[in-house]
Homo-oligomer: A and B are copies of this chain.
Amino acid sequence: MPRLLAALCLQIYLCSFLGPVEGGKVLVMPVDGSHWLSMKILVEELSRRGHEMVVLVPETSVLIHGSDAYVARSFKVPYTKAELDESMNKLKEGITKAPRISDLLENIIGLLSFTNMQVKGCEALLYNEPLMQNLREEHFDLMLTDPFLPCGPIIAEAFSLPAVYFLRGLPCGLDLEAAQCPSPPSYVPRFFTGNTDVMTFSQRVKNVLMTGFESILCKIFFSSFDELTSRYLKKDVTFRDVLGHAAIWLYRYGFTFEYPRPVMPNAVRIGGINCAKKNPLPADLEEFVDGSGDHGFIVFTLGSFVSELPEFKAREFFEAFRQIPQRVLWRYTGVIPKDIPENVKVMKWLPQNDLLAHPKAKVFITHGGTHGIYEGICNGVPMVMIPLFGDQVDNVLRMVLREVAESLTMFDLTSEQLLGALRKVLNNKRYKEKITQLSLIHKDRPIEPLDLAVFWTEFVMRHGSAEHLRPAAHHLNWVQYHSLDVIAFLLLVLSTVVFIAVKTCALCFRKCFRRAQKSKKE
């Protein structure tokens, strides 16, 4: 009995060190669009577990709506929905154009103008004194944010909140840099190089050059972030510095998708978090896909961002679909021709993951966003991939390399090409076998991605940080980190020693030589 009592006392004593275990208050700063779709899953789960979730939503939001699971706090932004749409449309315009050498630059400019608009929105939030004061007074326990935009990390820093980041990655690897994660260019391919993790010498040269180029790109791309960060926080810090204060990085990928590479202890991989929950299909869809017989059906979406195509391009798809026995479900909001084939069902929105989970799903035509790819992997459905922007070309390459997908380019896509790719994936069993293997490996894990994300988010709430996972590298600058100062010092010492040794020898040699000459003369 006394032992029991003592044990109980110890338990109480231990618990006194714990922060909030349940009922924490979480401030959420998401990024609108597809980024939100998987973060929402975590937000809803945390809410279900009794945490109070407050989500900051720009008034122009496209996909972040009110919910029972969280309190949405709308904030004003200095642009209209129409202006935002226009900026987004500019990005979409390039989809069907032939790629040119100037594309990279154009892409960057497009993305820059888009993110600059978002940064302006962020600024409007930060300098919205009443709202910020209000938030500050709510004494949150944690900031859960997507660091693709600077607001979340800056607010976390300003409010001294521990931060959990939820992301796929940041342009030019800023996330890795900020987290002090090594990323050797010899086998970690840089984006937009077309390289894989196995490179020839010339590919490695390209990768190293891209690494250098990226660091310049980073400076340009994140200059508006840096300016806002230091101005708002009133100290000489960059956005990267602030990012480095993250407690936990939740990466929505894993190594069935990404190339294996070094990771940091506070980086947690939760790839596939978006495909765990499956709902039964609505009756009309169930009937449509069940009626596909042995041929099965195809799911076709181009992500939440692109739901229409120019008519001439859409026609190529319809023409290809007309020639196959499979039924096709296409998420498409564009102009529908009169004579669309009978086997095609066009919808404004479709339950992608639920459809892919259906055993008759044969092929998934996708643009190669990470959400879609994981839905393909989780459900073991081989893919025909048509990358459109950003990381998608690289994402698709990863899947093609694993032999679970065929890839096409949108600008020159014809119905024949699409038909060829579809028939290849439908008829060659290899694709199904490979994606099934990949699916098995992906799903063979000790803990589900959502549970892992919840665990680490709550861990940070319980302990106020994850300090034990934070490398001491954060104390070092670039030169120190790479030991360049030490190497320079050692080289200096070595060269001094060699110099003195050589000089001494030379002196001795000269003296001896002179004496020898002298004695010869004598």
**A382 interface residue per 8 A CB criterion:** no
Nearest Cβ in chain B — how far from A495, in angstroms?
16
Nearest Cβ in chain B — how far from A468, in angstroms?
5
A7 touches B359 (CB 8 A): yes
Q: Mark A452-476, 1 if CB is under 8 A from B, else 0.
A: 1001100100110000111111011
Please name the residue on chain B nearest to A480 by beta carbon. Answer: B186
Q: Mark A252-278, 1 if CB is under 8 A from B, else 0.
A: 000110011111111000000000000
B444 touches A463 (CB 8 A): yes
B201 touches A17 (CB 8 A): no
Please name the residue on chain B nearest to A475 by beta carbon. Answer: B198
Please name the residue on chain B nearest to A442 by beta carbon. Answer: B468
**A22 interface residue per 8 A CB criterion:** no
Question: A447 and B444 in contact (CB under 8 A), knowing A265-B260, A476-B186, A490-B208?
Answer: no
Nearest Cβ in chain B — how far from A173, in angstroms?
15
B14 touches A436 (CB 8 A): yes
B261 touches A471 (CB 8 A): yes
The residues of B that contact A471 with a CB separation of less than 8 Å are 187, 197, 259-262
Assembly CA distance A456 to B3 (angstroms): 37
Nearest Cβ in chain B — how far from A381, in angstroms?
11
Question: A483 and B184 in contact (CB under 8 A), knowing A17-B436, A437-B17, A468-B260?
Answer: yes
**A63 interface residue per 8 A CB criterion:** no
**A500 interface residue per 8 A CB criterion:** no
Listed residue (A184, A290, A433, A439) with the most chain B CB atoms within 10 angstroms of its CB? A184
Oligomeric state, in copies = 2
Partner of A472, one of B14, B198, B455, B468: B198
The residues of B that contact A390 with a CB separation of less than 8 Å are none
B262 touches A472 (CB 8 A): no
Partner of A486, one of B201, B440, B462, B480: B201
Nearest Cβ in chain B — how far from A497, in angstroms?
14
The residues of B that contact A120 with a CB separation of less than 8 Å are none
Assembly CA distance A346 to B3 (angstroms): 23
Residues of A1-38 whose CB lies within 8 A of B: 2-3, 6-7, 9-10, 13-14, 17-18
Residues of A481-495 whose CB lies within 8 A of B: 481-483, 485-487, 489-490
Question: A255 and B455 in contact (CB under 8 A), knowing A182-B182, A473-B186, A486-B204?
Answer: no
Assembly CA distance A182 to B261 (angstroms): 10
Assembly CA distance A489 to B440 (angstroms): 43
Nearest Cβ in chain B — how far from A278, in angstroms?
11
Nearest Cβ in chain B — how far from A374, in angstroms?
14
A444 touches B468 (CB 8 A): no
Question: A186 and B483 in contact (CB under 8 A), knowing A472-B197, A472-B260?
Answer: yes
**A421 interface residue per 8 A CB criterion:** no
**A83 interface residue per 8 A CB criterion:** no
B187 touches A473 (CB 8 A): yes
B255 touches A261 (CB 8 A): no
A482 touches B359 (CB 8 A): no
Partner of A205, one of B18, B265, B459, B489: B489
**A150 interface residue per 8 A CB criterion:** no
Interface residues of A (CB under 8 A from B): 2-3, 6-7, 9-10, 13-14, 17-18, 181-182, 184-187, 197-198, 201, 204-205, 208-209, 255-256, 259-266, 290, 358-360, 380, 433, 436-437, 439-441, 444, 446-447, 451-452, 455-456, 459, 462-463, 468-473, 475-476, 480-483, 485-487, 489-490
Q: Besides A260-B468, A263-B265, A444-B463, 15 other CB < 8 A contacts?
A: A3-B359, A9-B359, A10-B359, A17-B433, A184-B483, A186-B482, A187-B481, A201-B486, A204-B480, A208-B490, A255-B469, A260-B264, A446-B452, A446-B455, A446-B456
Task: List, sorted by A's number, 19 A–B pairs whose CB atoms are closer than 8 Å.
Answer: A2-B290, A6-B360, A7-B359, A10-B359, A10-B380, A184-B481, A184-B483, A185-B483, A204-B485, A255-B265, A259-B472, A260-B468, A260-B472, A261-B471, A262-B264, A263-B263, A444-B463, A446-B455, A447-B447
